[in-house]
Amino acid sequence: MTRFLRRYWALTRKELHQLRRAPKLVFQLTIPPTLLLVMWGYALNPEVKNLRTAVMDADRTPASREILAMLTELEAFQVKANYLSTTDLEKAFEDRSIDVGILVPPGFARDLQAGRPAELQVIIDGVVANSAAVAGGYLLRAVADHNEKLLRRRLPVTLEAGLPRLGRSEIRAIAMFNPGMVFSWFYVTAIMGVVLFVDGSLVASAIAVREKEVGTIEQLLMSPAQSLEILLAKTTPVLSLLVLGLMVSTYTAHLVFGLPLRGSFGLYLLAGVVAGFAAMGLGILLATYSSNQQQAQLLTFFINPFVMLCSGAFARIENMPRIFQWASMIDPLRYLVEIIRGLTVKGADLELLWRPMGALTLLTIALYGLSVWRFRRQLN
């Protein structure tokens, strides 16, 4: 046992010395993740602003002016032009000079007066589908608010008409855990998981294949150390950095985006360590199939988008086709992100998170075990 510890320490110290001489690697593991996090937190905001908007008021009544004024006050729509004919409006669309067209058809005020549904026509360039959907949502919400106002104005009239009196149902939507609806929390938690995983696998494959490239692997396998010892020692320093990176990211996310950590810190740390093992296991496994850095990196880079995108870190798993949903079941990142979100935003505890935690642990054991097994066999 003491020999095991001595060898393990020698191996770890070697890795630490190598790490110390590679400040680039230390830098790569701590700084870019944090920067990425901040950039993505901002960049992946689906809110839309300043869409180039053209309006066309064919009704020219106070009612039409009122609704147009209300809509163009929104930050999303910035009026660029006022057209008088639909052909002009359509042409502007085809020239890509506008993104949104709002058209009040003739007879709008008359319909409103008569209690018939009055129609407002809106054209949105649907190519950038998510922005278009968000813009459409803003618009519908604004129109709904406007309707509310109109109804309230009209209410006395309705009552006089003696129509059946049914109360108004209302729905109060409450965003649990995130009442301010901070978009960045979703992406920031995704990035924290993704960075841990992608960085872990990339670095692990690089350091594992380096031994093979330089030829020191034979020497290592000839020494009294076992494969598990060698790999554990390889894993330890990088893993510490990865987890450190995760903590720095979390704190930065707290400072910049106000991301809370409502659950247990210990559990958070544990999940980071377990997932780190899985990521490095994946990297080492890929390294055993490559003969040089270049191959290892290409392979890792090819595998990582699958891991990343199937995990549901960026979009709901249920929105994906079935096959991707199945793939996500064996994706360790899926469970890591679930745990991260559970512990930060939702404040869940182990009792609630035992399922993803268990799945993550099983996958980690499988991946790391496979890599240890392959590591010994790769010379044959």
Partner 1 sequence: MQRILAQSGKEWKQFRRDPLSMWLAVLMPVVMVLLFGYTLSLDPDGLRLVIRDLDNSALSRRYVETYIGAADFQLIAWDSELAVEQALETGAAEMVLLIPPHFGRDLLAGRPAQAQALIDGADANTALILRQTASALNASFLARENPALAPPVRARIRYWYNPGLSDRRFFGTGALGMVLIFFPALLGAIAASREHELGTVIQAYASTLTPAEWVIGTALPYVAVGCVELVCGYLSGAVAFGYDLPPDPTAFLAASVGYIAIGVLFGMWVGHATRSQSISIQAVQLGVFLLSLLLSGFLAPLENIPKAIRWLSYFIPARYYVEVVRDALLRQGGWRTNGLDVVILLGLAMLGFWGVWSQVRRMRFPD
Partner 2 sequence: MTGVVIRARGLTKVYDRGTKQELCALDAVDFEIRKGEIFGLIGADGAGKSTCFKILAGVLEPTAGEVEVLFRSPRESRQRVGYVTQPFSLYEDLSVAENLRYAAGLREVDEEAFAERSRRYLEAFDMKAFTDRLAGRLSGGMKQKLALSCALIADPAVLLLDEPTTGVDPVSRRDFWDALGGLADRGMTIVVATPYLDEAERCTRIACMENGKILAQYPPAEFVSRMALTRLEIRTCDLQRAEEMLERHERDGILADVQRFGDRLDVLVSDPVADRDRILEALEAEELKPEVLRSGDPTLENAFVATLRSKRGPESHAHFPDRATAPAERCGELALGTKGLVKRFGSFTAVKGLDLEIRHGEIYGLLGANGAGKTTAIKMICGLVQPSSGEISLLGRTKGFRTAAVRSRIGYKSQKFTLYDDLTIGENLDFYAAMYDVPPKLCRARKDWALEVSGLRGEEGMLTGRLPDGWKQRVAFGAAVMHQPDIVFLDEPTSGVDALARRAMWRMINELADNGAAVLVVTHYLEEAEQCNRIGFMAAGDMVAEGSPSELEKHMPGVLLEVRAANVAASLGAFRQALGRDRVTQFGERLHVQAPDVGAGEREIQAIAEAQSLELRSIEPIPFSLEDVFLALIERRRAASDKAA
Out of partner 2, partner 1, none, which partner does residue 176 contact, by CB within 5 to 8 A per kind? partner 1
**φ, ψ (nearest 5 deg) of residue 233:** -65, -35
Enumerate residues 217-276 that contact partner 1 by CB under 8 A. Answer: none
| Per CB under 8 A, 294 contacts partner 1 | yes
State the minimum distance, in angstroms, from the CB of residue 232 to partner 1.
Answer: 24
- Cα 235 → chain centroid: 27
| Per CB under 8 A, 141 contacts partner 1 | yes
Name 307's Cβ contacts closer than 8 Å, sequence gap at least 6: 197, 198, 201, 282, 331, 332, 333
Which C-beta is closer to partner 1: that of 68 or that of 225? Answer: 68
State the minimum distance, in angstroms, from the CB of residue 226 to partner 1.
Answer: 28
How far are the Cα atoms of 249, 342, 346, 355 from residue 349, in angstroms, in the given order?
A: 21, 8, 9, 11
Q: Candidates 247-255, 266-274, 291-299, 365-373 — which segment interacts with partner 1 by CB under 8 A?
A: 291-299
Out of partner 1, partner 2, none, which partner does residue 69 contact, by CB within 5 to 8 A per kind? none
State the minimum distance, in angstroms, from the CB of residue 32 to partner 1.
Answer: 7
The answer to whether 81 and 54 are in contact (CB under 8 A) is yes
Out of partner 1, partner 2, none, which partner does residue 309 contact, by CB within 5 to 8 A per kind? partner 1
State the minimum distance, in angstroms, from the CB of residue 292 to partner 1.
Answer: 8
* Nearest CA-CA partner of 272 in 247, 252, 251, 253: 247
Enumerate residues 201-220 that contact partner 1 by CB under 8 A. Answer: 206
State the minimum distance, in angstroms, from the CB of residue 218 to partner 2.
Answer: 5
Which C-beta is closer to partner 1: that of 176 or that of 222? Answer: 176
**φ, ψ (nearest 5 deg) of residue 243:** -70, -40
Which C-beta is closer to partner 1: that of 88 or that of 125? Answer: 125
Which of 1, 87, 160, 170 touches partner 1 by CB under 8 A? 170
Which C-beta is closer to partner 2: that of 130 or that of 216? Answer: 216
Concatenate the DSSP letters of all residues of 314-378 into one string: SS-GGGS-HHHHHHHHT-HHHHHHHHHHIIIII---HHHHHHHHHHHHHHHHHHHHHHHHHHHHT
Strand partners, 79: 53
Enumerate residues 11-30 that contact partner 1 by CB under 8 A. Answer: 28
Enumerate residues 77-106 that contact partner 1 by CB under 8 A. Answer: 93-96
Quick one: tokens of 138?
């803003």
Report the amino acid identity of residue 141.
Answer: R
Q: In the complex, which residues of this chain contact partner 2 (CB under 8 A)? A: 3, 6-7, 9-11, 13-14, 17-18, 21-22, 214-216, 218-226, 379-380
Name 188's Cβ contacts closer than 8 Å, sequence gap at least 6: 37, 40, 41, 253, 257, 259
Which C-beta is closer to partner 1: that of 67 or that of 274? Answer: 67
Which of 147, 216, 219, 223 touches partner 1 by CB under 8 A? 147
Which of 254, 301, 330, 378 touches partner 1 by CB under 8 A? 301
Q: Give dist(CA 60, CA 160) in Å, integer.
A: 30
Q: HSE (CB half, 13 Å, CA atoms) of 170?
A: 6
State the minimum distance, in angstroms, from the CB of residue 137 to partner 1.
Answer: 5
